Structures are given as structure tokens and as C-alpha cells.
Amino acid sequence: MQIFTKEAFENLFRTEFKGLCFFAMKYVKDYETACEIVQDSFIRLWEKRDVIDTSKSVKSYLTTSIHNKCLNHLRDNRKFDNNLLQIEQLSEVSDGKTSDFLVEKELRKSIATAIDELPEKCREVFLLSRNENLKYHEIAVQLGISVKTVETQMSKALQHLRLRLSGFMSLLAFFIHTYFR
């Protein structure tokens, strides 16, 4: 049993799409991403039109779906620990300004060693995220694993790197204070 016809669905899309995009934008802060999320929600609605509870509002279903997709997007694309990001980007800071080349060299070596110590799958997920700038769902698709597994592997990688590089945090604070004022 269909809850609505193709024409009713198209009418719903035409009348609600723009407003729902603005609703999604409140979460993701990017109009294109918001529109993609809303479009995906409409596609999912159409695909599930035969099993959706007709006693509830379709707009309510869409709003809830969009809300959840926005939260998933934010989770999958969140920024990592700022200290770790700054450590990773330290190589971009150095253009002859670093007064102690040996300390910088040691830091780079420690970062590389810490990454090499990661288990193979964990390292692969981390490098796809950091070097390839892939989102969690893209990594999951590429590796044939779930997004939850990607999240778990990233969490393990970041925790390991925080522990291994903790001795450099005060040094990093100095570099950040000196070069990012």
C-alpha cells in the first residue's frame, strides 16, 4: 500500500525542499551539504514509501530524518583534537623560521614512528583520513567496512598518537604561540 502517489511526492518535494534545506543548514552550516542531506532524505522517503507509518506526519518523518543525517554528517566530519592537528601541520610552519632544527626533526621522526606503530588497519584508516582527506563514510566504502569501524579505528589511532606525542605538547604550545600569533 503506497502512502502517496508520485504526484503527491513531487508536490511535497517542491513545497518543502527549500525550507528543509534551511533547516539542515542550521546544523551543517553549508548550503550544498544541507541540500544533499535533504535530497537523500527525500530519496529515502520515496524508497520507504510502502513501509512508513501513515498515522504520522510525512513532514515530521522528513524533519527527523534530516536532523539525524545532519548529526551523522557532523560526527563523520568533525575536527579532531586541535593539538594533534597542529602537530600534524607543524611541517607547514617550518620555512626556515624554526630556531631548533634538531627538535623539529625529532618531532617529525616521533610522529612518523607513532603512525608506524599503529596496527595495519588502524594506520590505513588514519592515513586515508589525514593524507587523503577522506570522510568517514568514504573510508568505510573504500575499505568495505562500517562507518562505526572507521570511527573506532580513528579513535584508537588518535589516542595512540596523543599518548606517544604527549612529551611534545609543551614544545608544540611554544611553536604555536611563536608562529601563529
Q: Which domain holds residue 31?
A: 6-76
Q: What angle do CA 159, 165, 166 make, to 5 degrees?
A: 85
Identify the pLDDT of residue 54: 61
In a domain, 25, yes or no: yes
Q: Are residues 57 and 102 in the same domain?
A: no
Cell for 150? 572507521
pLDDT tens readout for residues 89-130: 444 444 444 345 566 677 778 788 888 899 999 999 988 988
92 lies in the same domain as 64: no
Residue 165 is assigned to a structural domain of this protein: yes
* 95: in domain: yes
Mean pLDDT (whole number) for 146-167:
86
Domain end point (choices 49, 76, 103): 76
Residue 167 lies in a domain: yes
Mean pLDDT of 148-161: 89
For residues 68 and 141, state if they share a domain: no
Does residue 145 share a domain with residue 112? yes
CATH number at residue 146: 1.10.10.10
Residue 61 has pLDDT above 90, yes or no: no
- The answer on 45 and 91 residing in a single domain is no
Given a cut of 60, whether residue 85 has pLDDT beyond it is: no
Query: Of 76, 95, 111, which residue is a domain's last?
Result: 76
Q: 101 or 148: whose pLDDT is higher? A: 148
If asked whether residues 105 and 168 sit together in one domain, one would say yes
Residues 25 and 41 in one domain: yes
Residues 135, 88, single domain; the answer is yes
Q: Which three cell numbers stand for residue 42?
A: 527525500
